[in-house]
Chains A and B, each alone.
Chain A
Amino acid sequence: MEYFVQQLINGLTLGAIYALIAIGYTMVYGIIGMINFAHGEIYMIGAFLAVIAFTGLGIIGLTWVPAAIIVVLLIAMFFTAAYGWTVERIAYRPLRGSHRLAPLISAIGMSIFLQNYVQIAQGAKIKPLPPVVQGNIPLMESASGFTVSISYLQLIIILLTVGLMLGFTYLIQRTSLGRSQRACEQDLKMASLLGVDVDRTISLTFVMGAALAAVAGVMITMYYGVIDFFIGFLAGVKAFTAAVLGGIGSLPGAMLGGLLIGLIEAFWSAYFSVEYKDVATFVILVVVLIFRPTGLLGRPEVEKV
């Protein structure tokens, strides 16, 4: 039981990170119907910016942890968002309106480019980050002496994610930006006819997705303590799987999917085998899609002639 609770906490932490990345996929898919394959690399860039910013802050002597984390988050979000904006501008905007696979290939090319760009700029070696937040809160103890605990970092990750999700939901549901975003999602052409600045809305969608991915990147860097230029691929695939699992295009779906993927991974590693945890993720995805072809919270597709 104690072991189970511990894994639940670990899974939720991981799931929160996946959910943050998955939102970027699902929003972009919802609005222009393309799989943004470069999104995993955007997250990787966020993680690199985190290491660079933390190291830089250490050098200039800002070591008060709450302030450091906030500054690093802001730096990472700003620059990552700039990358997200540029990627859309260069690689996707010229291709709007061409056939479905063109932006996909462009995205794959962009992903290869960004990965190698970071590798060349920063070197292929693993980048370590010394632990920023240490300590944990013991929650319960079993008779055999196994202590269930939640670390402060896990608490921060989960709370921050919940906070961002709430803020983000507010942004989409209540603000004028969110309204134009939803309008574009429903009908791009009609929205532009009604005076919504479609280009701007799409750009902002990429910016928001990238900023959330940057938060995920900062969190994963603090959580694992090591990153390399290759982490974007697997995390991107997992997050995209999460988006599809929850029903692509649906924001609550992305959050639910992210959490589920995190939990599946944690429990599979704990009770079965670490090597096959990715296999488990994909198998569950296939099983879900067979019974609910549009994902857990996806709207059923209406076929029109």
Chain B
Amino acid sequence: MATVTEASTPHRGTDVITAAKEAAIAAGVMAVLALPLIGFILVDVAGGVTLRTRFGGVLTAAAIVFVGRFVIAMLRGRGAGPIAHLTGLVTRRVAGWGAGRFVGPALVGFAVVLPVLPFSDRYIIDLGTSVLIYVMLGWGLNVVVGLAGLLDLGYVAFYAVGAYSFALLALHFDLSFWACLPLAGVFAALFGIILGFPVLRLRGDYLAIVTLGFGEIIRIVLLNWQDFTGGPNGLSSIPRPSFFGAPIGRSAPEGQTPFHEFVAPVMEPIAALFGGEWGFDAIHRIVWLYYIILALALVTNVFTLRIRRLPVGRAWEALREDEIACRSLGINPTNTKLSAFAIGAMFAGFAGAFFSARQGFVSPESFTYIESAVILAIVVLGGMGSQIGVVVAAAFLILIPEFGRDFAQYRMLLFGLAMVLVMIWRPQGLVSGREPSVRLHAERR
């Protein structure tokens, strides 16, 4: 280290000058870009719009870019090497330990005890539920994108199918959440097959636009088919999931026991032990929803990890790597892709059913293209095919807007920026580990 510092000291002056020069150029470009859009604002006046100037904003933007570019240029010269090395080492370690060794179980353990930790309140558990929904969706999409290598930009369509399946079944046929959950998965998988059958012959990027189009089609139909889906108003008063038949609420319908009475024989002595009292509390439902999505997400994970070892899972990965080789080995590419598509869709359907049960309300607004983009970003930012990476990326992307709550209007701005920066910083994803599932020879350690 010492020699490195010494060697770079003589260049320090020129470093600063070069960095300042680069920063000045960047700031100049920013000023040009900002001049029309930040320097002038359109303001409404009676009968039209007029312009107001805001050149201070242009200077601020240029100054921010100058400082940012200067810091980056200085870091690149010296500090970035070790930093990049260190982060690379850490993420490699995480990937190397794998989901199974240490990090995975630790995370699962943390997720299980989260609701009873002292700092957990309603907000944290709710946030945890949101993150877990995206983790589950990310794992589901990982089957399609990460394992089978199919670029799906309309994943949210299957999420919507699941959500509306449950909502409609529950409202029209009075079925419970637990009866609808598998049905929602089946419907979503069915849609996956219906869509996949004609389009899976297409090459990667054609598939991307067709799936994007399909996502939009589903949304437009939901928006316009008023009689069936409620149109833009959506569907409301969707029943919540029960606890083994006991509804969670202050009181229960005739002939049913509410949850807090149902578990009272067990919980009352425990509560007494801690000197508390056992009774209805609104947080029960939130905790229960949290555990449902945790279980669903873990099922998705275990399913994916196991199916990777089955012939069909191996075929997915082989297909991702080389389609021609697969075909010559007698793998039917269409059926293999279709199975990946259907299974990915099924998990989205489960997640969708959970989503509508949690919200108690669904509307087409929840299923826009941006959701698909976020889910895809989770898979890619996490490092495609990495299960742990999905968790890290989901937490990262869902928590960023939460931290930005204080400056709410900049939330999505930061979100977009973060996506770009993470990609530039680590194009291979936060946790990169495209480990082959099968090796010719046992790994030497």
A interface residues with partner B (beta carbon < 8 Å):
29, 33, 35, 45, 48-49, 51-53, 55-56, 59, 75, 79, 82-83, 86, 90-91, 94-95, 98-106, 108-123, 125, 127-130, 233, 237, 240-241, 244, 248, 275-276, 278-279, 281-283, 285-286, 289-290, 293-294, 301, 303, 305
CA distance A195 to B180 in the complex (A): 63
> Is there contact, CB below 8 Å, between B37 and A94?
no
Bound CA–CA A272/B33 (angstroms)? 43
Contact B50 A240 (CB under 8 A): no
Task: Evaluate contact between B412 and A112: CB separation under 8 angstroms.
Answer: yes
B413 lies within 8 A of A282 (CB): no
Residue of A at shortest CB range from B377? A105
| Segment of B202-210, B254-262, B359-367 in the binding face | B202-210
Cα–Cα, bound, A51→B40 (Å): 11
A51-B42, A51-B49, A112-B373 are known contacts. Are A283 and B217 too (CB-CB below 8 A)? yes
User: What mask results when residues 29 to 46 of chain B are scored 1 for a CB within 8 Å of chain A, else 0?
Assistant: 100110111101110100
Whether A56 and B40, one on each chain, are in contact in the complex, defined by CB atoms closer than 8 angstroms, is: yes
For the complex formed, measure the closest distance between the CB of A82 and the CB atoms of chain B, giving whole angstroms: 6
Contact A98 B221 (CB under 8 A): no
Contact of B409 among A120, A279, A283, A289 (CB under 8 A): A120
Residue pair A248, B202 in contact (C-beta under 8 Å)? no
Q: Are B49's CB and A127's CB within 8 A?
A: yes
| Additional 17 contacts, C-beta under 8 A, given A33-B205, A248-B205, A293-B206 | A49-B37, A52-B51, A55-B50, A79-B36, A99-B428, A101-B151, A104-B208, A105-B380, A106-B419, A109-B420, A112-B412, A122-B37, A128-B48, A237-B209, A279-B217, A286-B213, A293-B203
Cα distance A75–B151 in the bound complex, in angstroms: 37
Instruction: Given the known inter-chain contacts A82-B32, A127-B49, A241-B213, please indicate yes or no for A48 contacting B201, CB distance below 8 A.
Output: no
Interface range on chain B (Cβ under 8 Å from partner): 35 or more
Within 8 A of A (CB), among B395-424: 409-410, 412-413, 415-420, 423-424
B residues less than 8 Å from A49 (CB atoms)? 36-37
In the bound assembly, the distance between CA atoms of A105 and B51 in angstroms comes to: 35
CB-CB under 8 A from A244, the residues of chain B are 205-206, 209
Please name the residue on chain B nearest to A114 by beta carbon: B416
B105 on the interface (CB 8 Å rule)? Answer: no
From residue B247, how far is it (CB to closest CB) to chain A in Å? 38
Q: What is the minimal beta-carbon distance from B381 to any residue of chain A, in angstroms?
A: 7
Contacts of B376 in A (CB 8 A): 105, 108
B37, B369, B377: most-surrounded residue (chain A CB, <10 A): B37
Quick check: B203 and A86 within 8 Å, CB to CB? no
A303 and B324 form a contact (CB under 8 A): yes
Measured between beta carbons, the chain B residues less than 8 angstroms from A29 are 205
Chain A residue at smallest Cβ distance from B413:
A116
Task: Look across to chain B and name the residue whose beta carbon is closest to the beta carbon of A287.
Answer: B198
Question: Is B384 among interface residues, defined by CB-CB distance under 8 A?
Answer: yes
Binary per-residue interface labels of chain B (311-346) against chain A in the complex, 1 for a CB within 8 Å, 0 otherwise: 000000000000011000000000000000000000
Could you name 19 residue pairs across A and B whose Cβ atoms are closer than 8 Å? A35-B208, A49-B37, A53-B36, A55-B42, A55-B50, A98-B428, A105-B381, A106-B420, A108-B377, A109-B416, A111-B416, A113-B417, A120-B410, A121-B38, A244-B206, A282-B214, A282-B217, A286-B199, A303-B324
Bound: A240/B33 CA distance, A? 25
Residues of chain A contacted by B35 (CB below 8 angstroms): 79
A102 and B427 contacting across the interface, CB-CB below 8 Å:
yes
For B36, B48, B208, B417, the residue with the greatest tally of chain A CB atoms inside 10 Å of its CB is: B36
Chain A residues whose CB sits within 8 angstroms of the CB of B424 once the complex forms: 91, 94-95, 106
Chain A, interface SS category? helix
Q: How far is the CA of A24 from the CA of B409 in the complex (A)?
A: 30
Least CB separation from A240: chain B residue: B209
Q: Measured between alpha carbons, how far is A110 from B51 in the docked complex, in Å?
A: 27
Q: When each residue 48-59 of chain B gets 1 if its CB lies under 8 Å from chain A and 0 otherwise, what string results? A: 111100000100
B contact residues around A113 at 8 Å (CB): 413, 416-417, 420
| B220: interface (CB < 8 Å) | yes
Query: Given the complex of chains A and B, what is the CA–CA distance between A109 and B210 in angstroms?
Result: 20
Contact A91 B33 (CB under 8 A): no
A95 touches B427 (CB 8 A): yes
Q: Is B224 interfacial (CB-CB < 8 Å)? A: yes
| Complex: A120 Cα to B41 Cα, angstroms | 10
Q: Which residues on the B side are within 8 Å of A121 (C-beta)? A: 37-38, 41, 57
Bound-state Cα–Cα, A45 to B57, Å: 18
Give residues 165-210 of B contacting A (CB, 8 Å).
198-199, 201-206, 208-210
Q: Are B377 and A125 in contact (CB under 8 A)?
A: no
Chain B positions within 8 Å of A90 at CB level: 420
Q: Within the assembled complex, what's the spacing in Å between the Cα atoms of A103 and B199?
A: 24
Residue of chain A at shortest CB distance from B421? A109
Q: Which residue of A83, A278, A279, A285 is within 8 Å of B33 (Cβ)?
A: A83
Contact (Cβ within 8 A) A293 B50: no
User: Shortest distance in angstroms between B92's beta carbon and chain A's nearest beta carbon?
Assistant: 17
- Report if B144 contacts A (CB, 8 A): no
B197 smallest CB distance to A (angstroms): 10
* B206 pairs with A105, CB closer than 8 A: no
**Residues in A whose Cβ lies below 8 Å from that of B221:** 279
Q: A101–B384 contact, CB under 8 A?
A: yes
Q: Does B126 contact A (CB under 8 A)?
A: no
Please tell me if the beta carbons of B205 and A106 are within 8 angstroms of each other in the complex.
no
Q: Does B73 contact A (CB under 8 A)?
A: no
Tell whether, in the assembled complex, residue B213 and residue A130 are in contact, meaning their CB atoms are under 8 Å apart.
Answer: no
Give, as a whole number of angstroms, the nearest-CB distance from B149 to chain A: 9
Nearest-CB residue, chain B, relative to A94: B424
B22 neighbours in A (Cβ, 8 Å): none
Q: Is the CB of A35 within 8 A of B201?
A: no
CB of B212 within 8 A of chain A?
yes
Select from chain A the residue with minimum beta-carbon distance to B207: A289
* Contact A48/B37 with A113-B413, A123-B42, A286-B210 known, Cβ cut-off 8 Å: yes
Any A CB within 8 A of the CB of B216: yes
Report how far A55 CA is from B213 CA in the complex, Å.
Answer: 36
* Bound form: Cα–Cα A135–B199 in Å: 46
A259 CB to nearest chain B CB (Å): 18
1/0 contact string of B376-392 vs chain A (CB within 8 Å) = 11001100100000000
Determine the residue in chain B with the shortest Cβ distance to A107.
Answer: B420
| B234, chain A: closest CB distance, angstroms | 17
- B75 in the interface (beta carbon within 8 A): no
Nearest CB of chain A from residue B325's CB, rounded to whole Å: 8
The minimal Cβ–Cβ distance linking B76 to chain A, given in whole angstroms, is: 12
Determine whether the beta carbon of B48 is less than 8 Å from that of A130: yes
Q: Which residues of A contact B325 (CB under 8 A)?
A: 305
Minimum CB–CB distance from A88 to chain B (whole Å) comes to 12
